[in-house]
Amino acid sequence: MIKYKTSEEIELMREAALVVSRTLGEVAKLIEPGVTGLKLDKVAEECIRDQGAIPAFLGQYDFPNTLCISPNAQVVHGIPSDVPFKNGDIVSVDCGAILNGYFGDHAYTFPVGEVKPEVLELLRVTKESLYKGIEATNTSNRIGDIGYTIQQHAEAHNYGVVRELVGHGLGTALHEDPQVPNYGKRGRGKRIQNGLTIAIEPMINMGTEKIRQLPDGWTILTADGLPSAHFEHDVAVVDGKAEILSTFDYIEEAIGVL
């Protein structure tokens, strides 16, 4: 069942989302060759707690850390490690926080040093597909229109759209109804209504859309070993259209616009 939110609840969700936005901004300042995922994880946990919030992923479904850190061919749900990032890597950092009982959950894929132009293009197109999906999140549309829009943009660049993992409703739980796939058919699914709060998170692969999972039970990788990108925003439907509750401004202040 979808829990539509009041404007007061949406304001609380914005505060939770912004805790994550500021944390990703701090993470952004540190990303360079030689830095490890575990270092970022420690900084993120401190940053979340300093804002009076609680890391949302830590212990959720028994996940061991604050951040999901997924380099290169890892799609999502990577566990932070002590392996240093290398020049030319891309690293998806997904972060969640709980503030006043509401969840923020958003993600960005960072370039490390000099990244090949075709890989930077994957990042740009994935981010564009997120914003196109957000534009499609309006009360003239249905949930399927969001995924349709994301899929059209990604596949126009011959990328693979991951099917098994999807965006989701967000609120007093990390995962609420509805599921928000990154693929779909026009005009299908529930009608979008004011008060809907969702995390939209395209996971776009340079090659095949097929994935596999590491024996750690968490890490999702592309089946062909090619890179994958992931960008996520939290949005609320207000006055018929999507309002973005999270922001990449802190990240872009630190590293510039992709």
Contact residue for Mg ion among 199, 220, 221, 242 (CB under 5 A)? 199
Smallest gap from residue 46 Cβ to Mg ion (A): 20
Report the distance separating Cα 75 and Cα 104, nearest Å: 20
Stretch that binds Mg ion, among 17-25, 31-39, 188-196, 226-234 (CB under 5 A): 226-234
* Binding piece for Mg ion, criterion CB under 5 A, among 21-29, 120-128, 199-207, 236-244: 199-207
Residue in 9, 26, 41, 105 binding Mg ion, rule: CB under 5 A: 105
- Pull the structure tokens for residue 224: 């062909």
Give least dist CB 116 to Mg ion, A: 26
Q: Are 67 and 218 in contact (CB under 8 A)?
A: no
Nearer Cβ to Mg ion, position 172 or 224?
A: 172
Neighbours of 164 (CB within 10 A): 12
Cα 85-255-234 angle, rounded to 5 deg: 95
| Residue 168 CB, nearest approach to Mg ion (Å) | 6
What separation in angstroms does the CA of 27 have from each of 13, 31, 43, 75, 119?
21, 7, 7, 19, 21
Task: Name every residue whose Cβ is closer than 8 Å to that of residue 216 and which is 6 or more positions away in sequence.
Answer: 79
* Encoded tokens for 102: 């509401």
Cβ 195 to Mg ion shortest distance, Å: 19
Judged by CB, which is closer to Mg ion: 26, or 201?
201
Tokens 């011959």 belong to 158
Cβ distance to Mg ion smaller for residue 113 or 229: 229
CB of 202 to Mg ion, least distance (A): 11
**Under the rule (CB under 5 A), what is the footprint of Mg ion?**
94, 105, 107, 199, 201, 232
